[in-house]
């Protein structure tokens, strides 16, 4: 039996559908769409009542909103990092001044954020951060490099994990800083072109970039605790919402298989059924753990499940199309053009890497859930 939403949840669903009917999703100008959502009060509905310009919604209503957003064909959000990662972090660890400064512009869809965590040579090992921030009066001067920084080209701000204690190693001596991106000569963003032809990820170079001391979240040297709290927010309601988009993609692959007759191949038919069944299991698992904070392995299990599932879906989409999968959607004119399924196949190759690689997730489960010996790590860098 599937999860049943309550009467208030369904009323919230009707409200969301009515709003989408009056405000069809916009794809041409992502910033304008963020402002449209903000004007409707739909940004930050999970923050609670705080006078930040957002609606308030229960946990299940947040799921409802995400499902309706996906069903309405809403585009990928530019503001999701600020809304779903930074804002809850400020609510948990920030000062009242920081909340009043940063949450209203996020709720209005006016300020966009990116996340300065991963670095070259460290990969998913967040404790390997080398970017440094040196205190200079009432500010910090930041130098170093971040990589795989999603949406950095569009971001107005970046929350950066940097080393503020000279000689510190691993998780000690890190601080969590809010950094304005508009600093010519001090911050440079270089897009990373992927094989899908897109460049959502970027390299970011800091050369004496300025962050004000008032924009330090938590105490100096407390960055590891703040960063770990933020990472837990990357899984949860968003996982259920993501699965709605997965279902739409799977339905498209099934339609292709029916249209070209590939479903008659018993091997492909079995793979299609398996993808459908695994998606249902992922949904039930996400609903089972929704709102729980007592299961240290749940986020890692969820990441392992959806990362592998989506990569297999991309492979299945190409297998269903056969040789036709190698041709573009239009006549060749020298442009790098792909259709939705081809983009999904190429981009999904990264699903088991970004957001914490499969290897890192398995280490977390082994160490924190199964109690196996911790992996030996180099203590000096």
Is 34 an annotated catalytic residue? no
**Cα 223 from Cα 77, distance rounded (Å):** 27
Q: What angle do CA 161, 162, 166 make, to 5 degrees?
A: 150
- Joined tokens for residue 92: 């948990």
- The 3-state DSSP class for residue 309 equals helix
Candidates 115, 5, 125; CA nearest to 57 is 5
Question: Which ranges in 143-265 belong to alpha helices (H)?
Answer: 223-232, 237-260
Catalytic residue among 110, 234, 315, 367: 234
Q: How does DSSP assign 53-64, residue by residue?
A: S-----HHHHHH
**Cα 139 from Cα 178, distance rounded (Å):** 11
Question: Which ranges in the chain belong to alpha helices (H)?
Answer: 7-22, 30-39, 59-71, 80-81, 87-93, 96-107, 223-232, 237-260, 266-289, 298-321, 340-347, 358-364
Contact 176/223 with Cβ under 8 angstroms? yes
Task: Please enumerate in sequence order all residues whose Cβ is within 8 A of that of 302, keeping only pairs 6 or more positions apart, or say none.
Answer: 235, 239, 282, 285, 286, 289
Query: Which residues are catalytically annotated?
Result: 234
């Amino acid at each position: 039996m599937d999860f049943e939403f309550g009467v208030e949840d369904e009323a919230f669903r009707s409200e969301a559908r009515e709003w989408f009917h009056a405000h069809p999703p916009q794809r041409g100008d992502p910033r304008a769409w963020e402002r449209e959502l903000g004007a409707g009060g739909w940004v930050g509905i999970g923050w609670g009542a705080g006078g930040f310009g957002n609606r308030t919604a229960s946990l299940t209503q947040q799921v409802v909103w995400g499902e309706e957003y996906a069903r309405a064909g809403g585009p990928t959000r530019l503001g999701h990092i600020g809304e779903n990662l930074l804002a809850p972090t400020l609510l948990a660890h920030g000062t009242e001044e920081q909340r009043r400064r940063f949450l209203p512009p996020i709720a209005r869809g006016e300020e966009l954020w990116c996340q300065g965590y991963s670095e070259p040579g460290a990969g998913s090992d967040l404790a390997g951060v080398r970017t440094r921030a040196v205190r200079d009066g009432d500010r910090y001067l930041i130098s170093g490099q971040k990589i795989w920084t999603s949406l950095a080209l569009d971001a107005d701000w970046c929350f950066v994990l940097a080393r503020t204690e000279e000689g510190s190693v691993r998780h000690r001596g890190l601080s969590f800083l809010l950094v304005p991106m508009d600093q010519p000569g001090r911050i440079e963003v270089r897009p990373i072109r992927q094989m899908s032809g897109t460049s959502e990820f970027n390299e970011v170079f800091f050369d004496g970039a300025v962050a004000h001391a008032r924009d330090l979240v938590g105490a100096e040297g407390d960055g590891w605790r703040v960063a770990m709290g933020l990472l837990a927010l990357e899984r949860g309601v968003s996982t259920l919402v993501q699965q709605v988009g997965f279902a739409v993609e799977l339905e498209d692959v099934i339609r292709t298989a029916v249209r070209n007759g590939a479903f008659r191949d018993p091997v492909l038919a079995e793979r299609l059924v398996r993808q459908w069944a695994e998606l249902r299991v992922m949904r039930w698992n996400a609903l089972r753990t929704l709102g729980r904070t007592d299961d240290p392995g749940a986020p890692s299990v969820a990441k392992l499940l959806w990362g592998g599932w989506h990569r297999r879906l991309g492979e299945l989409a190409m297998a269903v199309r056969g040789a036709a999968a190698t041709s573009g959607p239009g006549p060749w004119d020298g442009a790098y053009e792909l259709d939705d399924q081809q983009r999904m196949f190429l981009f999904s190759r990264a699903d088991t890497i970004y957001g914490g690689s499969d290897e890192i997730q398995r280490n977390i489960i082994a160490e924190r859930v199964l109690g196996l010996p911790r992996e030996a790590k180099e203590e000096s860098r």
